[in-house]
Amino acid sequence: MSGYAFHAEAFADLDEIWEYIAEDDIDAADRYSPTSTTPFALSLLSRTSDIDAPDLTTRSLRFHVVRRQYLIAYAPDESPLWIVAVIHGHRDPRVMAAVLRGRE
């Protein structure tokens, strides 16, 4: 059993990020997408779930930065660690908050 589990829509987030990058360059999408580093980040989070980030929801969530621009939103008190979303960090904070509220 892994130390983390995904919200169904978090998988869709990864697909959308890959597709967005692939519109310009499929090779770059394969290299640059968060899917290539997400397993490492999730492994880290499953062992140390104490990385802080801005409050975007009333739910107890924390965030981990992947590739300097993607945020993995996760519930640190869940076991296994619950991955709620993977969001581009440059999105409007109100949009991020709405996405997270929709996944409570």
The pLDDT tens digits for 48-100 are 544 555 556 666 777 877 767 788 888 877 788 788 888 887 888 788 888 88
Please indicate, yes or no, whether the overall pTM of this predicted structure exceeds 0.75: no
The pLDDT tens digits for 7-21 are 889 888 888 888 888
Domain residue limits at 73: 4-101
Question: What CATH number does the domain containing 19 carry?
Answer: 3.30.2310.20
pLDDT at 56: 60
Quote the number of domains for the chain. Answer: 1
Does the structure show a pLDDT above 60 at 47?
A: no
The span from the CA of 67 to the CA of 77, in Å, is 24
Residue 49 amino acid letter: S
